[in-house]
Amino acid sequence: MSPTRSDDATRDAQIQALGALIDVPRAEELGARFVAAGHELYLVGGSVRDAVLQESDKPDLDFATSALPEETEQVLKGWADAVWLTGARFGTVSAQKGEDTIEITTFRSDTYEEGSRHPEVRFGDDIVTDLSRRDFTVNAMAVRMPDHTVFDPFGGWEDLRDRVLRTPIDPHTSFSDDPLRMIRMARFASSLGFRPDDAAVRAATELADQLRTVSAERIQIELDKLLMGRHFAVGMDLLVDTGLADIFLPEVPALRMERDPVHHHKDVYAHTLAVVEGCDREDVVLRLAALLHDIGKPATREFHKGGMVSFHHHDVVGARMAKARLRELKYPREVIRDVAHLVRLHLRFHGYADDEWTDSAVRRYVNDAGSPAQLRRLNALTRADVTTRDKRKKRRFAAAMTDLEDRIDRLKEEEELNAVRPALDGHQMMAYLGIAPGPLVGKVWAFMKDKALELGPIDPDTGYELLDEWAEANDIVPAGEIVPPKPKKDDESDK
Per-position DSSP letters for 350-413, written without gaps between them: TTTTTSPPPHHHHHHHHHHH-SHHHHHHHHHHHHHT---S-HHHHHHHHHHHHHHHHHHHHHHH
At residue 5, the pLDDT reads: 46
Reported as a pLDDT band with limits 50, 70 and 90, residue 263 is very low
Q: Is the pLDDT of residue 233 over 60?
A: yes
**Is the separation of the CB atoms in 76 and 83 below 8 Å?**
yes
- The confidence score (pLDDT) of residue 460 equals 84
> Is the alpha carbon torsion for 397, 403, 407, 409 positive or negative?
positive
Query: Is residue 268 a contact partner of residue 251, using CB atoms and an 8 Å limit?
Result: no
Cα separation of 215 and 195, whole Å? Answer: 26
Mean pLDDT of 348-360: 76
Whether residue 114 has pLDDT greater than 90: no
Q: Does 51 have pLDDT greater than 80?
A: no
From the list 285, 288, 320, 314, the residue with the least C-alpha distance to 301 is 314
CA distance 299 to 310: 11
Name the average pLDDT for the chain: 86
Q: Is the predicted pLDDT of residue 355 greater than 80, yes or no?
A: no
Q: Where are the alpha helices (DSSP H) in 100-254?
A: 127-132, 156-162, 171-177, 180-192, 198-207, 216-227, 232-242, 244-248
What are phi and psi for residue 400, nearest 5 degrees?
Answer: -65, -40
The angle at the Cα of 230, spanning 225 to 235, to the nearest 5 degrees, equals: 60
How confident is the model over 374-381, as a mean pLDDT?
94
Q: Which residues contact 449 (CB under 8 A, 6 or more apart)?
A: 420, 421, 422
165 vs 185: CA distance, rounded Å? 7
pLDDT tier at 259 (50, 70, 90 boundaries)?
Answer: low
Q: How confident is the model at residue 55 (pLDDT cuts 50, 70, 90)?
A: low
Peptide bond into 146 cis (omega under 30): yes
pLDDT tens-place string over residues 6-26: 456 666 666 666 665 566 778
Task: Calculate mean pLDDT across residues 436-457.
Answer: 83
pLDDT at residue 215 in the model: 95
Angle at 450 between CA 444 and CA 455, to 5 degrees: 125
Q: What pLDDT does 93 receive? A: 96
User: How far apart are the C-alpha atoms of 26 and 95, rounded to whole Å?
Assistant: 12
What is the helix (H) or strand (E) element at residue 101, kind and residue range? strand 100-106
Residues whose CB falls within 8 Å of the CB of residue 210, separated by 6 or more in sequence, listed in order: 175, 176, 179
Distance CA 418, CA 368 (A): 11
pLDDT in tens, 143-193: 999 988 889 999 998 999 899 999 999 999 999 999 999 999 999 999 999
Provide the pLDDT confidence category of residue 495 given band limits of 50, 70 and 90: very low
Distance CA 234, CA 15 (A): 29
- Give the model's pLDDT for residue 111: 62
Identify the pLDDT of residue 299. 86
Q: Does domain 9-162 have CATH number 3.30.460.10?
A: yes
In this structure, which amino acid lies at residue 214?
A: V
Inter-residue contact 477 to 402 (CB < 8 Å): no
Q: At 415, which helix (H) or strand (E)?
A: helix 391-415
Residues comprising the chain, all counted: 495
As a whole number of angstroms, the distance between CA 275 and CA 286 comes to: 10
Residue 420 has pLDDT above 90, yes or no: no
Q: Where are the domains of the chain?
A: 9-162, 421-473
Mean of pLDDT values over 204-221: 96
